[in-house]
Amino acid sequence: MLDSGDIGPGQDRTTTVEKGSFSTARCTCGWYGPARRARGLARDDAAAHVTARHSPSDTSDSSDSSD
C-alpha cells in the first residue's frame, strides 16, 4: 500500500490498495477510484482527486473585475 506521505491534522490521505492484479486509489474522505491493472494509473487517479477536491480554491479571479 502506498500513501500520500506526512499530512497535517484535518488533511485527507490517499492510498493505493491492491486486490489480486488490480490497484485502487482511496482517500480518507471516502472517495475511491476505479480498479486499475497498472499501479501508476491508480496513483494518477489519487493525485488527480487530491488536486481537484482537496486543493484550496483561488477566490481572487481577476477576470471578473468591472474596471
The answer to whether residue 1 sits within a structural domain is: no
Lowest mean pLDDT among 7-11, 22-26, 45-49: 7-11
Where do the DSSP E strands lie in the chain?
Answer: 2-3, 14-19, 22-27
The answer to whether residue 48 sits within a structural domain is: yes
Q: Report pLDDT digits (tens) over 25-38.
A: 999 999 999 999 99
The answer to whether residue 34 sits within a structural domain is: yes
Q: What one-character DSSP code corresponds to residue 28? A: T
Q: Which domain holds residue 22?
A: 12-54
The answer to whether residue 36 sits within a structural domain is: yes
Residues pairing with 32 in the sheet? 26
Rounded CA-CA distance 29/26 in Å is 9
Say how many domains are in the chain: 1
* Higher pLDDT, residue 39 or 64: 39
